[in-house]
Chain A
Amino acid sequence: MSHELPEHPDWLWRNPDPKPSYDVVVVGAGGHGLATAYYLAKNHGITNVAVLERGWLAGGNMARNTTIIRSNYLWDESAALYEHALKLWEVLPEELEYDFLFSQRGVLNLAHTLQDVREGVRRVHANRLGGVDAEWLSTEDVKKFCPIVNTSSDARYPVLGATLQPRAGIAKHDHVAWALARKADAYGVDLIQGCEVTGFLRDGDRVVGVETTRGRINAGKVALAAAGHTSTLAARVGLRLPIQSHPLQALVSELLEPVHPCVVMSNHVHVYVSQAHKGELVMGAGIDAYPSYTRRGSVQIIEAQMAAALELFPLFGRAHVIRTWGGVVDVSPDASPVVGLTPVENLLVNCGWGTGGFKATPAAGWVYAHTIATGQPHPLNAPFGLERFTTGALIDEHGAAAVAH
């Protein structure tokens, strides 16, 4: 937290006009679209690529998330994917030559009930077996690791313990996007902002390009990375996806002295809190119940999340809410992402990351690029195909893991 924000150069990428044709068109320049372009170039030598963005680069959920990075998911499939991401986060600042303030300050997932304790301990064991760092902390250890948490026994939500992933943490999301954009651009990828995809060019059943607000663009393959707007796009080729788009909100306080050393999450009371490098407390909660594309949610969600935060951190009683905002998150039925091929030839999807896709950014890009380049899913995203909703092989992280974000 003593870190100064790094200066970044004036221009990190060109702003080219779209060419008539590309090998791959990626739709959406959020973290996932940018990481996909980067790894298409770096891992597969595919550089005749455009990333089309209807707004400005990384102005969607990439700009709106609370930046929590962790890999302590319960199921093997998820843990493997998110752990691949965490390993990439550990090397990316150097590889991208950009300090995006990746800070492995540790994430606590608090347990407030006996059931929370059992689930937490189970997850710690599962994580260790899967090679993911995980520890179980007693109430006293929680107090030592994060002194500002209210661990008194008469608290409304007593802290009975917590899981700790020491290698988990936060990063500065905008800088991550800019770092990936700069390198992708340097490989020759065209990052095209203000270019909305409005439809698809078809040749029989195949997709052969896109219609955009800046004209038609032919493409060998079209890879959607449009988060909350994926179903709207897929609907234009008659593809129905198991995705609902919900508001997800977050908020920050004014800048405060460093008081909060780590990231604390509580699924039970539904809030999570960290302190950003500049000093603002960053808090988030769950989605609004109804689907919406408004990028704003209802105020009672914020109210409940503040109430929970104050129970856990009485110290925050004098802090103020400076800003709240919302994004549009793409929620799947089993709260796991959908990454892979579709029934429409040459059209691929990466969506369903919902409330937790920031942490996966590099791995999503890695496996999506592999799937695009080879026509086959990478072993890490093979379990995350659309087929699982038909076969029934769901990856149900909803009830089972430290699922929120």
Chain B
Amino acid sequence: MLLIPCPWCGDRDETEFGYGGQAHVPYPEAPETLTDAEWAEYLFVRDNPEGPFTEQWVHTAGCRRWFTLVRDTTCNDILAVHRTGTTNPVHP
């Protein structure tokens, strides 16, 4: 089980969290101007790296706030944690 550092509550078991997929995938500014291929990319295609991956989690059974982790998908080591909307890493 992952031990996840919530930027507000500190280290908690993974079972307290919900997973939210890749971070920083903005909704297209003008969706009606996208080609089908661009729309498909937005809807269906995400990064799937072997290595650092920036992803969203929510502390469902805790403070219920969203945040961003950088996790190495080859070993699950958590490399950084950010409060959503900020770029400075937090070390709670």
A residues apposed to B, CB below 8 Å: 229, 231-232, 235, 240-245, 289-294, 298-300, 333, 389-392
3 closest Cβ pairs, A-B complex = A289-B19, A231-B48, A242-B44
Contacts of B73 in A (CB 8 A): 245, 291-294
Cβ-defined contact, A232 with B44, below 8 A: no
B45 within 8 A of A: yes
Fill in one digit per residue for B44-83: 1 if any A CB lies within 8 Å of its CB, else 0. 1110111001010000000000000001011110000000
Of B14, B15, B49, B50, most buried by chain A (CB within 10 Å of CB) is: B50
Cβ-defined contact, A245 with B48, below 8 A: yes
User: In whole Å, how far is B47's beta carbon from the nearest beta carbon of chain A?
Assistant: 8
Cβ-defined contact, A299 with B1, below 8 A: yes
Cβ-defined contact, B37 with A390, below 8 A: yes
Q: Which residue of A lies closest to B46 (CB)?
A: A244
Can you sample 5 A-B contacts with CB below 8 Å? A232-B48, A245-B73, A292-B73, A294-B75, A298-B14
Of B48, B50, B55, most buried by chain A (CB within 10 Å of CB) is: B48
User: In whole Å, how far is A100's beta carbon from the nearest beta carbon of chain B?
Assistant: 32
Dominant secondary structure of chain A at its interface with chain B? loop
Cβ-defined contact, A291 with B48, below 8 A: yes
Q: With A290-B19, A290-B55 given, is the CB distance from A389 to B44 under 8 Å?
A: yes
Q: Which residue of A lies closest to B71 (CB)?
A: A290
Interface size class of B (residues with CB under 8 A): 20 to 34
Contacts of A389 in B (CB 8 A): 40, 43-45
Contacts of A291 in B (CB 8 A): 48, 53, 73
B36 within 8 A of A: yes
Query: Cα distance A239–B69 when bound, in Å?
Result: 25
B90 within 8 A of A: no
User: In whole Å, how far is B42's beta carbon from the nearest beta carbon of chain A?
Assistant: 11
Of A231, A241, A299, A390, most buried by chain B (CB within 10 Å of CB) is: A390
User: In whole Å, how far is B92's beta carbon from the nearest beta carbon of chain A?
Assistant: 20
Query: Cα distance A240–B46 when bound, in Å?
Result: 8
Contacts of A299 in B (CB 8 A): 1
Query: Cα distance A167–B45 when bound, in Å?
Result: 36
Which of these, B2, B14, B50, contacts A232 with CB under 8 Å? Answer: B50
User: In whole Å, how far is B43's beta carbon from the nearest beta carbon of chain A?
Assistant: 8
Query: Cα distance A245–B18 when bound, in Å?
Result: 18
User: In whole Å, how far is B16's beta carbon from the nearest beta carbon of chain A?
Assistant: 11
Contacts of A289 in B (CB 8 A): 18-19
Cβ-defined contact, A300 with B15, below 8 A: yes
Query: Cα distance A244–B25 when bound, in Å?
Result: 15
Contacts of A241 in B (CB 8 A): 45, 48
Q: Which residue of A lies closest to B38 (CB)?
A: A390
Query: Cα distance A290–B69 when bound, in Å?
Result: 12
Q: With A291-B53, A298-B2, A299-B1 given, is the CB distance from A244 to B48 under 8 Å?
A: yes
Cβ-defined contact, A240 with B45, below 8 A: yes
Contacts of B45 in A (CB 8 A): 240-242, 389
User: In whole Å, how far is B2's beta carbon from the nearest beta carbon of chain A?
Assistant: 6
Contacts of A292 in B (CB 8 A): 73, 76
Of A242, A299, A391, most buried by chain B (CB within 10 Å of CB) is: A242
Query: Cα distance A300–B48 when bound, in Å?
Result: 24
Q: Which residue of B lies closest to A394 (CB)?
A: B44
Q: Which residue of B lies closest to A297 (CB)?
A: B1
B32 within 8 A of A: no
Contacts of A390 in B (CB 8 A): 36-37, 39-40
